[in-house]
């Protein structure tokens, strides 16, 4: 098992648990009467993630991947069912199952990577043939992306799209076909934003914040203030002020800003170093795989983690428009944590395959 990958992941999760408590304790006390509310719920999800990771380490991934198609249909059904659930913050992104809240878009992201790795690694599959490229990938994956956009969840759709494009490229898709797929998607997004008005205020706020972050949206302003207040060494664990109802979602989408305020630039440097190790070890595992299935599966998982990290940090630092993308392993959220842990468990499983020697 790749221990560098394992220890780096455990380190990020530990930092995440500490910062979730630190950044949410005041909010939890006011809203729920217990400063441990968010921490205990995240701890419950972490236990579930641990069990799922243990199971993932024990199974034969290649045999499981044959179930990718039916699992993908299950994920699509889950994405459709969210529209029958009560809206939260004006969005239909969650399934409410008693005390559990599940975000199907996270599940769809992981299953899509497994499905692509299985399908594209088949000898009979010729990705350079436009017909084999369009069918069945565009209808299946496109349906899921449309449902996610309608939630609305443009950030999640963007993360999945970029991951899918990377996997297609690594599988040998021609650049002309890749461009033929990318350009219409870019045109569709532009039409939705600037003509239909989908998320247009966020884009306008982002354009305003390019020259001066303090002229952007309220979230961007507070995130920038939190990062600036941290300085080199931070205000100290538990001493952040932006979490006192100034910074929205200090324990979820903007936890990177909370870390910067309390642990400073050095704390952020530790976090980025751990993410770099995870990406590096994931790529190493992919390169040394004995077959195309393992290579595409490992690179798909690495790509999904990398894209999510880049988008989240880009939003917090006002380099990208505001989107609801959690920071893997760190942000509060059960579905994101479970999927992230399972993803690393898959990489660890791949690192133990017969004939593998990863240095």
**pTM (whole model) above 0.85:** yes
Bridge partners (DSSP) of residue 95 are: 102
Buried b (16+ CB within 10 A) or exposed e, 182-214: eeeeeeebeebbeeeebbeebeebbebbeeebe
Cα–Cα distance, 219 to 239 (Å, whole number)? 20
Per-residue pLDDT reduced to its tens digit, 207-241: 776 667 666 677 878 888 888 888 899 889 988 88
Collect contacts of 351-354 with beta carbons under 8 A, ≥24 apart: 351/1, 351/2, 351/5, 351/285, 352/1, 352/57, 353/289, 353/290, 353/294, 354/290
Residue 261, pLDDT score: 94
Residue 197, pLDDT score: 61
Please state, rounded to an integer, the average pLDDT across all residues of the chain: 87
Whether the upstream peptide bond of residue 152 has omega within 30° of 0, thus cis, is yes
More confident residue, 276 or 151: 276
Cα–Cα distance, 254 to 331 (Å, whole number)? 8
Is residue 357 over pLDDT 60?
Answer: no
Per-residue pLDDT reduced to its tens digit, 80-93: 999 988 888 778 88
Percentage helix, strand, coil, to 5, in the chain?
70, 0, 30
Residue 196, pLDDT score: 61
Residue 41, pLDDT score: 94
Per-residue pLDDT reduced to its tens digit, 319-336: 888 787 899 999 998 899
Residue 28, pLDDT score: 92
């Amino acid at each position: 098992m790749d221990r560098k990958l394992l220890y780096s992941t455990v380190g990020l999760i530990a930092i995440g648990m500490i910062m979730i408590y630190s950044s949410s304790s005041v909010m939890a006390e006011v809203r729920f009467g217990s400063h441990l509310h968010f921490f205990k719920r995240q701890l419950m999800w972490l236990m579930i993630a641990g069990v799922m990771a243990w199971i993932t380490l024990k199974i034969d991934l290649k045999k499981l991947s044959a179930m990718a198609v039916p699992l993908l249909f299950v994920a699509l059904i889950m994405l459709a069912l969210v529209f029958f659930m009560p809206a939260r913050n004006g969005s239909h992104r969650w399934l409410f199952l008693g005390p559990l809240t599940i975000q199907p878009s996270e599940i769809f992201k992981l299953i899509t990577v497994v499905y692509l790795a299985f399908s594209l690694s088949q000898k009979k599959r010729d990705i350079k043939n436009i017909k084999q490229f369009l069918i069945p990938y565009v209808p299946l994956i496109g349906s899921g992306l449309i449902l996610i956009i309608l939630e609305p969840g443009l950030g999640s759709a963007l993360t999945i799209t970029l991951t899918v494009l990377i996997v297609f490229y690594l599988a040998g898709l021609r650049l002309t076909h890749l461009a033929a797929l990318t350009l219409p998607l870019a045109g569709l997004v532009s039409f939705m934003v600037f003509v239909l008005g989908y998320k247009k205020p966020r884009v306008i706020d982002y354009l305003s914040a390019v020259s001066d972050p303090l002229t952007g949206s309220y979230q961007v302003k507070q995130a920038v203030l939190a990062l600036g207040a941290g300085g080199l060494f931070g205000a100290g664990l538990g001493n952040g002020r932006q979490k006192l109802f100034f910074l929205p979602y200090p324990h979820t989408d903007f936890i990177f800003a909370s870390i910067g305020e309390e642990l400073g630039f050095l704390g952020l440097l530790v976090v980025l170093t751990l993410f770099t190790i995870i990406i590096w070890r994931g790529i190493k595992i992919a390169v040394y795989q004995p077959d195309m299935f393992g290579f595409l599966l490992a690179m798909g998982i690495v790509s999904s983690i990398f894209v999510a990290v880049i988008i989240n940090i880009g939003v917090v630092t006002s380099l990208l428009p505001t989107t609801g993308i959690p920071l893997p392993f760190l942000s509060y959220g059960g579905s994101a944590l479970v999927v992230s842990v399972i993803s690393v468990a898959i990489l660890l499983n791949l690192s133990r395959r017969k004939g593998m020697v990863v240095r």
